[in-house]
Amino acid sequence: MKKPWFTCLVISLSVAFLLGGLVMWMAWQHNSQCEIHCAEQGVDWAYWLTLGAGGWLIGFLSCMLPASLVMWLLKK
């Protein structure tokens, strides 16, 4: 394995996009008080994308930080 950092980055990005999309999908489905979308006011893009960005950040950090720590410890 020549590029372990690149592999960790690709896996972390994939998990992050999956988790961000999942958070956005769950918010869209659980729209009990017209927080995300409503017929009268349309889609609240800022709030919906903020939820997705938060899910992306949590997914990326929860995957990249442990992988980085393991690779750093194995390098020593």
Is a pLDDT exceeding 80 seen at residue 76? no
Report the pLDDT averaged over residues 53-64. Answer: 96
pLDDT number for residue 75: 80
Which helix (H) or strand (E) element contains residue 42?
strand 42-43
User: pLDDT-derived band of residue 41, with 50, 70 and 90 as boundaries?
Assistant: confident
Q: pTM for the complete prediction?
A: 0.83
> Does residue 38 sit in helix, strand or coil?
strand
Position with higher pLDDT, 3 vs 34 = 34
Q: Are the CB atoms for 27 and 51 separated by under 8 Å?
A: yes
Give the chain's mean pLDDT. Answer: 91
